[in-house]
Amino acid sequence: MLSRGFRAVSAVKSAGVWAVAHSLDDTARFCRRGRCSPADPAPGPGSDPDQDPVQTLHRLCLDRFYVAPGPGSAARFRRGLGCSYGPLGEELRRNLLARWWSSVTRSRNRVFGVSSSLSGPAGPEVQVRVVESGRLQQILDQQDLSREQLIREVRALLDRSGPARTSLLPGALQQFVPSLELVGRKLPFGLAETGLCFRPPDASGCSAEFTETSLVWFCSPRTSSQWLDHWTQQRLKWWRKFALSPSGFISSEVSEDELEEPASRGVRISYDFPWGRESLETLWSRGSAELLQTHNGVQSKLQCRDGRKTVPHVISVSGNMDRGATAFLSNSLQQLSKEDGKKRLQHRKVLKLHPVLAPVKVALDIGRGGTVELRQVCDGLLQEFLEAEIFAWPGYLETLPTSAEQLNAKYDEMGVLFSAVVGENTLESGLLQLRSRDTTIKETMHISELKNFLARYISAADNI
């Protein structure tokens, strides 16, 4: 069995090579809490006090295909907003959303997926709309309109512009009644959804879309508080399961003066970023008022069986998965250092994403004297991995010569779990060299075993 614990131990075992391991987050957290006194554990020799950990992380994400370059990219990244993801970032996001989905819908057989329209239910409180701005420009350009005519036309345009949802909750509340038949009107049950939501654009001009995950749980009023505890525990376990340093993910009860109407209790799951603590997921015990309001107060439509007839209470569990992806990136970035022969410090950055989340499971390269045959072997392996849905990196397509050290450094920054080198030897014996990101140890493996080894490794890490 391959546990995170085991992997950590392996990393320590290989400390003969890389002296001190610490994550960027840890360093930053020490400093931010004002505990950077001499008595505190000193940051490792590899740390550069001048280096901004946010910049380091964002730079690495740009260089290593996680985030696409673009104006405002760094700010969006930091604020937990949807940004343009490169191929690796997109795969990380997909892995994360798939895990959330299966964790929520498969954990109990009473959660169903729904999908509500982006233009959620309209209401007086709608703050964001999708507006035909070309038409609005035209109205503003019309010289012959009086002030009053202008206002009238803009209002009319606004009225027919669809609202843009800021949360998935209203959609789920609407789907409550049609979903009752699914469950024979029996409590508890839940509706799950993932989708884009908007925050009102701020002064920086960032349109503020983000990917929300939402579980809306309908339960008996008697048990709502226990259910809130249950889901808090489940969700915190989930975040920590995929973390390298689980203690960075914490849950905290929302204090009474921070409670948002109509919630009677709330819990936040947050992550300690280098730039401060930010909320990843929020759980609210909301009572039944919003549900009643959504369905015009018709109690009879909403009643469920639960010993006696009752209108359910609502627990909402809403997460921001763009910020979640950033949290895992931040959490899994380790900086390691060693002195080389000439006593110069060398730095190595490793993105130790959990095997399940890591976008690239294996990179394929060819050894010296790469021939057409070796390329064909790699093509065959790549195809095999594609069919098994194992994301492999076609390093052998690269034509610029790179040293093994440079290549390993690059793959470590990409968070590539394993890298395989196919050489002349492989053609004869079928053996290839496999290097582990987490232990840096190289093993020899038969080419026919590679796919099963990877599948077993990932599923073992998943089943802990």
Q: How far apart are CA 316 and CA 423, in angstroms?
A: 54
Among 16, 49, 123, 184, which residue interacts with a second copy (rule: CB under 8 A)?
Answer: 184
Among 17, 182, 345, 464, which residue interacts with a second copy (rule: CB under 8 A)?
Answer: 182
**Over the range 278-291, which residues count as b (16 or more CB within 10 Å of their CB) and which as e?**
bbbbbbbbbbbebb
Contacts 24+ apart (CB under 8 A), 147-153: none
Contacts for 454 with CB less than 8 Å, ≥ 6 apart:
361, 362, 385, 390, 417, 418
**Residues 338-397 within binding reach of a second copy (CB under 8 A):** 379, 382-383, 386-387, 389, 394, 397
Helices 87-107 and 224-241 cross at an angle (nearest 10°) of 140
Candidate segments 3-11, 36-44, 76-84, 230-238, binder of a second copy by CB under 8 A:
76-84
Start-end of H helices in 142-221: 147-159, 169-174, 176-180
CA distances, 342 to each of 15, 45, 47, 272, 338 (Å): 19, 16, 19, 37, 11
Q: Smaller CB distance to a second copy: residue 452 or 463?
A: 463
CB 212 within 8 A of CB 222: no
Candidate segments 2-10, 118-126, 334-342, 350-358, binder of a second copy by CB under 8 A:
118-126
Q: Smaller CB distance to a second copy: residue 2 or 131?
A: 131
Residue 448 interacts with a second copy (CB under 8 A): yes or no? no
CB of 113 to a second copy, least distance (A): 5
Q: Smaller CB distance to a second copy: residue 383 or 406?
A: 383
Q: Smaller CB distance to a second copy: residue 27 or 161?
A: 161
Among 83, 267, 377, 458, which residue interacts with a second copy (rule: CB under 8 A)?
Answer: 83
Q: How far apart are CA 73 and CA 333, in angstroms?
A: 19
Single-letter code of the amino acid located at 344 = R
**Over the range 120-131, which residues count as b (16 or more CB within 10 Å of their CB) and which as e?**
beeeeebebbee
CB of 293 to a second copy, least distance (A): 16
Residue 208 interacts with a second copy (CB under 8 A): yes or no? yes
Q: Smaller CB distance to a second copy: residue 120 or 423?
A: 120
Candidate segments 45-53, 99-107, 230-238, 342-350, binder of a second copy by CB under 8 A:
99-107
Count of residues of this chain found to bind a second copy when the rule CB under 8 A is applied: 91
- The contact pattern for a second copy, residues 9-48, with x = CB under 8 A and - = no contact, is ----------------------------------------
CB of 116 to a second copy, least distance (A): 5
Residue 70 interacts with a second copy (CB under 8 A): yes or no? yes
Tokens 């939402």, residue located: 214
Residue 250: beta bridge partners? 270
Q: Smaller CB distance to a second copy: residue 345 or 397?
A: 397
Among 151, 298, 345, 464, which residue interacts with a second copy (rule: CB under 8 A)?
Answer: 151
Candidate segments 110-118, 230-238, 306-314, 335-343, binder of a second copy by CB under 8 A:
110-118
Q: How far apart are CA 235 and CA 281, in angstroms?
A: 8
**Residues 288-347 within binding reach of a second copy (CB under 8 A):** 305
Phi first, then psi: give them for residue 190, nearest 5 degrees.
Answer: -140, 160
Among 54, 118, 254, 404, which residue interacts with a second copy (rule: CB under 8 A)?
Answer: 118
